[in-house]
Homo-oligomer: A and B are copies of this chain.
Amino acid sequence: MKIDGVPSRTIWLQPDGWSVGILDQTALPHVVKRLTLKTVEDAAHAIKAMQVRGAPLIGVTAAYGVALAMRADPSDTALDGALVFLAEQRPTAVNLRWALNDLRERLAPLASKERAAAAYARAAEIAEDDIETCRRIGVNGLRLIEEIAKNKRGEPLNILTHCNAGWLACVDWGTATSPIYHAHDAGIPVHVWVDETRPRGQGAALTAFELLHHGVPHTLIADNAGGHLMQKGDVDLVIVGTDRVTACGDVANKIGTYLKALAAHDNRVPFYVALPYSTIDWNVEQGADIPIEERSADEVLRVAGRLSDGAIATVAISAEGTPARNPAFDVTPARLVTGLITERGLCTASREGLLSLYPERKSVAA
């Protein structure tokens, strides 16, 4: 999508044909800063320091990290070393492990002189796959938006979203944002309510940044405000992303999603979850079985932002000595989810719905 009017991606191969460009997401939303990764160490640092974030983007970065390692030294030792080194940067990132395993399987059997080219090719393929998956989510979500827009008689359609399931978490398009970008680009008037998403503020920092730069009308709100806006009839549709969907359609997503789903249900606002196939966890049945990551209390106690002189700083919002808790995700039960939007189409949040789109999983999920 666009930054300062220029079509952009979160990661790309530089014109030199081997170094890798990334958008430094730790500088967002205050500064647009692009970095060049030239070594596997650069790639590892980008992952660990969260210069890149979001499951798909972490996977692509890891794949390019392996490519950079193979360019420097394509030996078995170097390959094993790079895989272990990259994996330990974010120990719980499923997509990171998936990408590294994929690279291992492809590169290990090859002659060492073929490995770098194969790694670059595969990294590019993973990136293009992600873009295509996100694009299809957008096309499928667009149909839903077109349907709902019919009732608006040309008035802007108000879509609420939570956290950042946007292109900054992917390579392009995003998941929850892809239908929104497709609708906007197709000339359907849309307006997005952007939840701040405390404690890390990804809505305020990233989603609002994305929409501002791509020119999509939007308004930042406190996480507390969504229910009231729904009561007032000011929300036509909710679309959020997800970190994991269980086999029966329960949705784990950023903390606070459940509260918005309750409000949507109470006010008969359609509540949709956008996701790629890779987010479906066919091995977990109930959302209650998903372990919820507890993050640092510091994220609750402090807020980072831009001082009036442009410097970045962190302020403490409570008295010294205040204890805090920081569960990072919650689970929205399937009964509150109107539907799922995937790269294959729309379905209900249920085993039947998911299997209607992914019939090949019937034997596994039975």
- Interface of A toward B, CB cutoff 8 Å: 28-30, 196-199, 201, 204-205, 208-209, 212, 218-229, 231, 254-256, 258-260, 262-263, 266, 288, 292, 300-308, 313-319, 321-327, 329-331
Contacts and interface: CB of A to CB of B under 8 A. Distances in A.
Among A225, A262, A303, max chain B CB count under 10 A is at A225
A220 B303 contact: no
A218 B323 contact: yes
Contacts of A329: 228
A220 B263 contact: no
A231 to B, nearest CB: 7
Contacts of A301: 220
Contacts of A208: 318-319, 322
B224 A259 contact: yes
A260 to B, nearest CB: 8
B221 A325 contact: yes
A330 B201 CA distance: 22
10 contacts: A196-B317, A212-B322, A218-B322, A219-B325, A220-B300, A228-B258, A228-B329, A231-B288, A262-B262, A313-B315
A263 B259 contact: yes
Given A227-B259, A256-B223, A263-B258, A306 B300 contact: no
Given A198-B196, A263-B258, A303 B326 contact: no
A292 B225 CA distance: 12
A222 B330 contact: no
A218 B300 CA distance: 14
